[in-house]
Amino acid sequence: MAARISSVGNYAELSVLTVGSDIWFTESGQIWWNAALQPMLSDNSDGGQLITEREYQLIKEYPIPTNVTAAMVTELVMRLNNTVHNWDRGVLEDSGMISYREYNVHVTKINEDTEAARQQGHDSIFSAYDSTADEFEEAGKADEGVCAKVRIQIKQRLVITRDAFNARLEIENGESDQLTDIRVVIEIYSRNGTRTLAMDRFAIGNPTIAGITGTETQWSLATKTTGSAEWLIIPYSQAAPTQDTDYDIGGTLYYMVNGENLSVPLFPDTITVMPDPRLHLNYFLEKFVRADDPFTKAVVEPSIPFTLGILVSNSGFGAAKDLKISSGQPEIIDNEKGLLITFRIIGAQLGMQPISPSLDVTFGNVDPHSTKMARWLMTSSLQGKFSNYSATFQNTNPLGDPQLSIMDSIYFHELLHNVRVDWPADDQLSDFLVIDKSSATALPNLIYKSDDGLNPLPVTIGNVTTLEFLSPKEIQVSVKAHYPGWVYFQTPVTVNTALQVSAAIRSDGRQVISEHNAWIDTILNKTKLHILDYFDNSTLKMARVTYHLTLFRPNDRAPKFEKRRYEANVSEAESVITDLLTTHAVDADGDAVTYHLADTNYFAIDSTNGSLSLIKELDRETVAEHTFRVFAVDNGTPSRTGTAAVSVIVTDINDNAPEFEPSVYEATIEVDTPPGFDVLQVMAKDNDVGSNAQLLYSLQTDGVVFSVNSSTGMLSTTETIQSSPSTHTLTCVVSDKGVSPRNSTANIIINVINKNLHPPEFGHLNYNFSSLENATIGFELGEVSATDADSHSPNNVVRFSLAPASSSRLPFSVDQETGKVTVTGYLDRETTDTYTFEIIAADRGVPPTGQLSATTTVMVSILDVNDNRPSFPRSRFEYRILENLPSGELILKVKATDSDLGSNGAISSYELTPVTGNANFNLVVTNDSYAMIYTNSSLDREEFDRHTLILEVSDGGNPPRTGSTDVVIIVTDMNDNPPKFDSSLVQKSISRDTPVNTPVATVHATDIDTTGLLRYSINRTSNEPFQINEDSGAVRLSKQLSIVDPSSFNLSVIVSDGIFTDKMSLIINVITTNTYAPEFDGAPYAVVVNESVDAGRSIFQVTATDRDSSLVTYLITLGNTGNIFEIDSIEGIISTRGELDRETTPFYQLTVEASDGGINGQNILTSTAKVDVVVLDVNEHYPEFISGGIISLSVQEESKPGIMLGQVLATDEDRHNVSYHMVPGDEAAHFAVDTDSGNVTTNATLDRELKGSYQFEVEARDNGEPPLTSTAVVMVTVTDINDNEPEFDQSQYNISLQADDVVPGAVQLVVHASDEDEGRNAVVTYSIAGVGFMVDNHTGEITSELDGSSVTETTVYRFHVIATDQGIQPKWSMANVSITVLPGNQTRVTLLPGNQTTDVGTTTISMVTTPMQPKNTTVKTSGSPSIYRDSSLFFVTLLIVARCMML
């Protein structure tokens, strides 16, 4: 202990040596040092470790500690600057600076003490001191408790998409000998700027070979085989530090064949490397854990979820793509005293998204220089506090190269509270108020914002000067802040621990966010008020700053009924019953409860005691069970409601007589029917139930030959029926089995007739019919007939039907009375030409003999009609023939076919009709019905290069049918036309000083043939100084002109296509120089035009003249946006080419250039003029809503009137102002729209339960002349708020188990909770705070982690299960569970007061790149590398250690 006190004392002495006095070591001095001085000493400040003059002035502006003067600040700054300056020059000892010798002595001892602390398992001398102090304190409390150390680890995996490249080389050995000594040298060059070798910017893995043999450096490839090698190439971060960078990957292939060493260059391929992300992880673990206090044996305190937060920051220039962190549950890896404690993660949340029961967090992309926040919600089964955090990590990757790591830092912070930074703006996200290691006061000193994990905000500590209770739920607090920025205050407060802050208002009117920035908590039986607020300089200057805080007891819990469902039985004979049953609900908040009913008019409830009464007569036959709800409403704020179901079963009385259906029965039987024959069955029903509905049947008539089965109602003969014909009339009675039986009767009539002796007989054994295939449905084919030899009806009445085997697929039917056969479906002879089927004739005999029948065969022949067109083998024929083909050449021979019969299927005639081209073709038809097409004259391609004919065919039907095919004849070219010059005479002018080889003119000829190649030449009569390009016709000056040369040359130019020629004259005049440029008349110009002007309309004309009398041409050179205007090059008339749109472009400034002809295209002079075109508006566009014709908005129920739901916005392409107006309607009255902004607000408080959605119209109106309007439908959805907590079916679950049934993984109990809300507010997940058991998050199944074989005596396990909904502000409830294991022996560990340590263990984060599609790289030379994007796995192992004292 003494040694560790000495270590800390040595550190304090070094601190005094640094600043020169211990006066700085106060709370305000420490705050001033961190906020004002330390930032000026950082390496990235203006002067680095030296304080500049500007930094000195900033330090002086910061409020100094109360016990320090301005002179002392100046002295400290000079002391620090003198030390840095002198040590840099080698001066180590002098006045006014830090002594290097003394400084070195203290630093050496600190290093030695730190190393000793680490060897003892501590991360610093301060944690070693804390540990010793704890042990010392425990030694003084040896009679009060023991120390229990627990170490846990959380394994997490971080996955990220990252680029890599695969280089593939393929070698094909076509030699007669093997290739040996194969090796490859890969080279990577930078393409940006100077081409330089860049091998040091990439990690290259060992190659993977296929088809190649040998070691990694010496390869061989057998003859006539192919081999390949692949390299994984991963760029380092310096390959693309800030932007996409291109590289060439190539190299050289070396090998030996037949004793000769050869090398082949591998042509480079280009890859693009994108910048890497640089990741920084900041973890935040909540310091205090609230859960069960083991010393309160009579109650199990609930486990309050606490936060493990994370900020993932990217300081790089590349995005961290598809980032995801998967977490495992905490695992206890060291529990030296067998402490009964569990830690669990119950959910995860990204930003403001709903809490998910999944342990995975999908961040998506983390863009460069941005941060994303997430948190895991954890629970502990015992209360305590965390302290002493540390974190380390190690990176591994496929290439084993540590330089590939993109993880720059990982830190762990002690989290005091989740707060919200609302200045200068509130992003609604949780931020982290932490006690950083740099804090000298063990109070919070930094805020990490959820959108910036790299630049925490400093927090200073203020003083609470007074605290006054204005009422039991109102507090006024006076505070004193010393520095601007975020200030933290805390003070003890004596209040009911259930109270929370509902509002906190500062004396200048600023509202502090309650629960986040103003809160009350009770930790280790100490209740404190905390305030975090932002102070600017004006607030600091206030004489007195006070906060007015309003407290409230949250109405957290709704009343709970003792049962989820109440049941009772009531006889339908009752009309009024008081005290039918009593419901009872308990409110855990202690609020009074009133009772109410819903969904029933038959019952009433006493609002005070929950007693249920019957108030209206019941009828079981109308409603057999009444199910309704009972509500318990508390008087808290806001009030909460619990619900239970009530089921009242109505019991039966015998108030209904049975009834026959029907009331009269009739049947017919034959004479000689034997005894015991079932004739018919009577049936009755009774609306009562039970014995009141059990029926007995009997006959009321005596002396008859029939009897009825008393249970089934089956009527049977008791003796042979001999009289015929005769009729028997019976009366049947049915009675129920009620205490006072009820009955009813039915009449039964039995007719007795003669026996059926003969079956029917058909007139023919077979029938043959025929039908045309186009017969319509209902067409009668013929009639079958049959007779029956019996003498009496119904035995001699015959009915006809199709045999069942064929009736379903036949297109025919038979009339059952007449035997007529008719068509009922579509007939097609080409598909089926004959149908054969059977028809049955049956009489109408009655039991016992029944019906007798006979069959006959029917055959129907289908006759042909002309229902098919003749057709050709193809619908189109295309042929190519040479022009000038002589007359009489055969082009096409083809024959048409027809699937009909006889003349209907015979080919009657062909007809040929020209569509395009001319009629230079003849049609000849052969005796065997072939159509043959011949040429009847020579064809000329230049007249028609394509002929389209229609060949039509007719069959011999009456009327005939026709078919056709297209015949396309393409005429190919012959060189049968001479070329022709565009002009027979062309004149050009040049000056005598025209340089040699200058183009003078270009002549042009055309040839309507396509086969001839034109060649140009000059037919020289003398040595003219000109040459002509034989392909293009361009004429150039071939030698310098002199004064002796003539002033004009007349060249004879010839063009030839190889067979034919043409001539023209090219006159070249030699003149002097071009002197004057064209001059515009009246420039600059302005023109006004409506936007509705038609395309092609002339709007203006410019004119220019040339004093050289040269022809002036015009051209628009600038300002023609969208190429909307054009100018006539000769006349200067400007016209529109397309439609004008003032809303897009209201003004054009065109630049028109006028050019003279120059001299033979040389020395051309130009001038320009501006033409301003102003486009006038026409109100032609209706306002258009940005969101379309239907706009969907939503509002939370119970929101106050005036809340903004959203905005309806419309644009007007005419650029008019748009105003907004409500269209009157019933539902529009609940809302309002701002005329100018389009903001939609509520006019009333809305209740989702009364109406869940609204619909109304909004009009958008522009201010044009005349104004135009559009309307949109606004649909408002009223969303649910999370105002109900989950409710368990039971508040207490009790079960007993035999020890043999308690095995790991076995389901022991299922708990269930439901939530009255909807959507995610009603989705319930479960978590557990218990030892030896776990619960399924979704199903509520509780399974054992224990092995009951070790249980030797009765053991009771008590814990509770938490049900949490998924609202944004989730609500939860708790049920107690008691599991008794018989027999066995398990004693609960009782923890005595003391500091017990928990170490948070190892977390593994793995980063994985996702493969991307290969780049489209073409390998042009055998052996060049193929480069494509690949994926590579990167892993980071993170070790987090924390110490937890279980209190």
1334/115: higher pLDDT: 1334
Tokens of 252: 């050289």
Per-residue pLDDT tens over the stretch 51-106: 887 788 888 777 777 667 777 888 888 888 888 777 766 677 777 888 877 887 88
Strand bridging mode 1218-1222 / 1307-1310: unpaired
Q: How far apart are CA 207 and CA 484, in angstroms?
A: 61
Tokens of 433: 């108020």
Question: Which DSSP string do the residues of 476-487 spell out, in sequence order?
Answer: EEEEE--SSEEE
76 DSSP 8-state letter: H
Query: CB–CB of 604/628 below 8 Å?
Result: no
* Predicted confidence band of residue 529 (pLDDT cuts 50, 70, 90): very high
Q: How far apart are CA 1325 and CA 1338, in angstroms?
A: 5
Nearest alpha carbon to residue 584 among 1423, 1335, 1291: 1291
Per-residue pLDDT tens over the stretch 853-900: 999 999 999 999 988 999 999 989 988 888 888 888 898 999 999 988
Query: CB–CB of 1422/374 below 8 Å?
Result: no
Q: How far apart are CA 73 and CA 81, in angstroms?
A: 12
Question: Per DSSP, what are the bridge partners of residue 503?
Answer: 550
Q: How far apart are CA 713 and CA 733, in angstroms?
A: 10
Phi and psi for 1300 in degrees, rounded to 5?
Answer: -65, -25
Query: CB–CB of 546/476 below 8 Å?
Result: yes
The answer for residues whose C-beta is within 8 angstroms of residue 955's C-beta and 6 or more apart is 866, 869, 870, 898, 900, 903, 904, 905, 906, 907, 908, 961, 962
Dihedral angle over CA of 849, 851, 854, 860, nearest 10: -170
- Cα 261 from chain centroid (whole Å): 59
Q: How far apart are CA 1309 and CA 1330, in angstroms?
A: 14
Q: How far apart are CA 7 and CA 367, in angstroms?
A: 45
Query: CB–CB of 1377/1361 below 8 Å?
Result: yes
Question: Per DSSP, what are the bridge partners of residue 955?
Answer: 907
- Is the C-alpha dihedral spanning 1222, 1224, 1227, 1230 positive or negative? positive
Phi and psi for 808 in degrees, rounded to 5?
Answer: -75, -25
Dihedral angle over CA of 129, 133, 139, 145, nearest 10: -110
What's the burial of 122, exposed, middle or buried (CB within 10 Å: 0-12/13-18/19+)?
A: buried
Query: Cα separations (Å) of 743 from 698, 1111, 1241, 1300?
Result: 11, 124, 70, 61
1280/445: higher pLDDT: 445
Maximum average pLDDT range among 137-146, 1031-1040, 1347-1356 = 1031-1040
Maximum average pLDDT range among 216-220, 1361-1365, 1408-1412 = 1361-1365
Tokens of 1058: 């190889």
Q: How far apart are CA 502 and CA 516, in angstroms?
A: 11
Query: Cα separations (Å) of 1136 from 51, 959, 1127?
Result: 69, 60, 9
Nearest alpha carbon to residue 375 among 413, 403, 340, 409: 413
Task: Please report how many Cα atoms fall inside a 13 Å half-sphere around the Cα of residue 699, on the Cβ side.
Answer: 20
E strands, 848-903, are 853-863, 876-882, 890-895
Query: CB–CB of 706/729 below 8 Å?
Result: no
Query: Cα separations (Å) of 831 from 207, 684, 899?
Result: 68, 56, 11
E strands, 462-564, are 463-471, 474-480, 485-492, 500-506, 511-512, 518-523, 526-535, 545-552, 560-561
What's the N-to-C CA distance of the chain in angstroms?
24
| pLDDT for the residue 1429 | 46
My answer on whether omega of the bond before 794 falls inside 30° of 0, hence cis, is yes
Q: Name the region of 1160 (left: φ>0; alpha: ψ -120 to 50; beta: rest).
A: left
Nearest alpha carbon to residue 1099 among 1078, 1128, 1141, 1130: 1128
| pLDDT for the residue 522 | 85
Query: CB–CB of 25/14 below 8 Å?
Result: no
Hey, what amino acid is at 965?
A: T
Per-residue pLDDT tens over the stretch 655-712: 899 999 888 999 999 998 899 999 999 999 999 998 998 999 999 876 678 999 999 9
| pLDDT for the residue 110 | 81
Q: How far apart are CA 994 and CA 1159, in angstroms?
A: 9
Maximum average pLDDT range among 108-122, 993-1007, 1099-1113 = 993-1007
Q: Give the percent of the chain with pLDDT over 90.
A: 31
Nearest alpha carbon to residue 334 among 1290, 1444, 1447: 1444
Per-residue pLDDT tens over the stretch 1041-1079: 887 888 888 999 999 988 899 999 999 888 766 778 889
Residue keyed to tokens 């007569």 = 617
Q: How far apart are CA 707 and CA 714, in angstroms?
A: 8
> Buried (b) or exposed (e) across 776-801, using 16+ Cβ within 10 A?
eeeeebebbbbebebeeebbbebbbb
Residue keyed to tokens 């019919």 = 769
Position 440 pLDDT exceeds 70: no
871 DSSP 8-state letter: B
SS3 74: helix
995/716: higher pLDDT: 716
Position 439 pLDDT exceeds 60: no
Prediction pTM value: 0.45
Q: How far apart are CA 361 and CA 351, in angstroms?
A: 10
1230: number of Cβ within 10 Å: 17
* Predicted confidence band of residue 1432 (pLDDT cuts 50, 70, 90): very low
| pLDDT for the residue 782 | 94
